[in-house]
């Protein structure tokens, strides 16, 4: 469909609710957003009366879905994940790795190069490398065999192997991490704080070195700690106190429960909060069953229950099984946030921090026609990527 219009739906821009209106699309671009029903036969009409029309959801942190993981390092796994997430409203996806050896990492970079322009589901926006430069005590479900400090001899071959790396999550207190953050910034890559034992002063230093995002806030990081009898603010407190620090939140209502979701939005400007799924292969799969975190070859067995993945001894979570439309439902229905804010945190905000906010994340004239149509229950019904319906 080169020219079509979505009519009768309630438009969430996401900065305001325009009410019932019409979105005009031509050649993959939004060319008009009008209140009310726009008549005329020049555009194929798609009646979405009774639904919401929203900017496509942008997930900057996903490991997999549909029983596939990006670390499977196959083209079919990547396509499966793109299709599954598109079913839930995701239009732009940043494939995310786990801590691994460099051989496995290089293999994934090669596979991604082959599939990065696929059009079967959610588009790929570039890579998010999560690890292996993490604090051991806050490793969570990351495989401890691969944890290490960032060293140029280790990371430069990876950086030189791909121009598609857009973000790298690192524990900034590790030796060499601040220099690494500066190197990433020089290359236009977003450094992000993750799996860290950093305290407030460490986070301030990291922010000055270019780390402007905290990965899955509240998960795998310090709150207030005592060292030599003295209390120190931790990474969590730093995230609240540094006004310009953005927070990525797994908005499934389980990794971060309702009360903490409300606390975040009470103390942080909504524009600095970014929802993500952090989904593993269990997203979209039946619960009360085992799954694999990471690659089929080298991953670990986990259990899917209570709307989340857990390590087998139930001592910690092992990634989420959330989808992006579930994040919107959680933030709106459970955490009580206005719908416009809930949508903004999974569209305009991630677009902005990933540097694509001039063309993604809004229902606005001149923007890419990445659009999701949701029912009143906020389950995705239709998903369009660059004007092409992928679900």
Q: What is the CATH number of the domain that holds 40?
A: 2.30.40.10
Give buried/exposed letters for 156-181 (b at 16+ CB in 10 A, else e).
Answer: eeebeebeebbbbbbbbbbebbbebb
Clarify whether residues 45 and 68 are in a common domain. no
367 located within any domain: no
Clarify whether residues 28 and 147 are in a common domain. no
Rounded Cα gap, residues 329 and 332, in angstroms? 5
Closest Cα to residue 62, out of 53, 71, 54?
71
370 located within any domain: no
Clarify whether residues 212 and 129 are in a common domain. yes
Clarify whether residues 280 and 143 are in a common domain. yes
Intra-chain end-to-end CA distance of the chain, in Å: 14
Domain that includes residue 204, residue range:
56-359
Q: What is the CATH number of the domain that holds 345?
A: 3.20.20.140
Clarify whether residues 82 and 148 are in a common domain. yes
Query: Any idea of the CA torsion for 391, 10, 93, 117, to the nearest 10 degrees?
Result: 60
**Measuring CA to CA, how many Å separate 295 from each of 27, 68, 72, 208, 232?**
38, 8, 4, 35, 38
Closest Cα to residue 206, out of 215, 61, 333, 160?
215
| Cis peptide, bond prior to residue 14, ω within 30 of zero | yes
In which order are the strands placed within the sheet that holds 246-250? 127-130, 165-170, 190-193, 213-214, 246-250, 273-276
Q: Please state the domain count of the chain.
A: 2
Q: Where are the beta strands (DSSP E) in 171-324?
A: 190-193, 213-214, 225-227, 230-232, 246-250, 273-276, 289-293, 300-305, 308-311, 317-320
Clarify whether residues 170 and 69 are in a common domain. yes
What tens-digit pLDDT sequence spans the chain (391 residues)? 689 999 999 999 999 999 999 999 999 999 999 999 998 778 999 999 999 999 999 999 999 999 999 999 999 999 999 999 999 999 999 999 999 989 999 999 999 999 999 999 999 999 999 999 999 999 988 989 999 999 999 999 999 999 999 999 999 999 999 999 999 999 999 999 999 999 999 999 999 999 999 999 999 999 999 999 999 999 999 999 999 999 999 999 999 999 999 999 999 999 999 999 999 999 999 999 999 999 998 899 999 999 999 999 998 898 899 999 999 999 999 999 999 999 999 999 999 999 999 999 999 999 999 999 999 999 999 999 999 999 9
**Tokens 């990794």 sit on residue:** 255
């Amino acid at each position: 469909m080169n020219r079509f219009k979505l009519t009768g739906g309630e438009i969430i821009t996401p900065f305001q609710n325009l009410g019932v209106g019409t979105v005009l699309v031509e050649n993959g671009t939004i060319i008009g957003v009008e209140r009310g029903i726009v008549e005329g036969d020049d555009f194929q009409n798609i009646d979405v009366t009774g639904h919401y029309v929203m900017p496509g959801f942008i997930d900057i942190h996903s490991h997999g879905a549909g029983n596939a993981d990006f670390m499977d390092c196959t083209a079919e796994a990547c396509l499966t994940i793109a299709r599954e997430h598109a079913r839930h409203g995701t239009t732009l996806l940043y494939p995310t790795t786990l801590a691994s050896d460099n051989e496995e990492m290089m293999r994934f970079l090669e596979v991604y190069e082959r599939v990065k322009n696929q059009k079967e589901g959610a588009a790929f926006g570039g890579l998010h490398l999560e690890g292996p430069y993490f604090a051991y005590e806050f490793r969570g479900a990351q495989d401890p065999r691969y944890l290490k400090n960032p060293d140029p001899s280790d990371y430069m071959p990876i950086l030189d192997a791909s121009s598609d790396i857009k973000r790298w999550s690192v524990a900034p207190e590790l030796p060499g991490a601040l220099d690494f953050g500066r190197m990433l910034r020089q290359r236009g890559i977003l450094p992000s704080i993750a799996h860290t034992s950093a305290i407030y002063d460490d986070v301030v230093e990291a922010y000055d070195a270019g780390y402007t995002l905290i990965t899955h806030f509240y998960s795998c990081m310090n709150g207030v700690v005592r060292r030599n009898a003295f209390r120190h603010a931790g990474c969590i407190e730093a995230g609240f106190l540094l006004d310009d620090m953005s927070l990525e939140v797994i908005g499934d209502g389980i990794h971060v429960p309702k009360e903490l979701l409300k606390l975040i939005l009470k103390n942080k400007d909504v524009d600095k909060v970014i929802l993500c799924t952090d989904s593993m292969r269990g997203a979209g799969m039946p619960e009360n069953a085992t799954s694999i975190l990471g690659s089929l070859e080298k991953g670990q067995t986990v259990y899917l229950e209570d709307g989340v993945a857990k390590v087998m001894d139930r001592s910690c979570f092992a990634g989420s099984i959330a989808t992006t439309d579930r994040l919107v439902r959680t933030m709106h229905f459970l955490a009580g946030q206005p719908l416009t804010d809930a949508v903004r945190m999974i569209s305009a905000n991630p677009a902005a921090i990933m540097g694509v906010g001039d063309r993604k994340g809004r229902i606005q004239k001149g923007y890419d026609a990445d659009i999701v149509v949701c029912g009143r229950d906020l389950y995705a019904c239709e998903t369009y990527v660059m004007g092409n319906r992928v679900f």
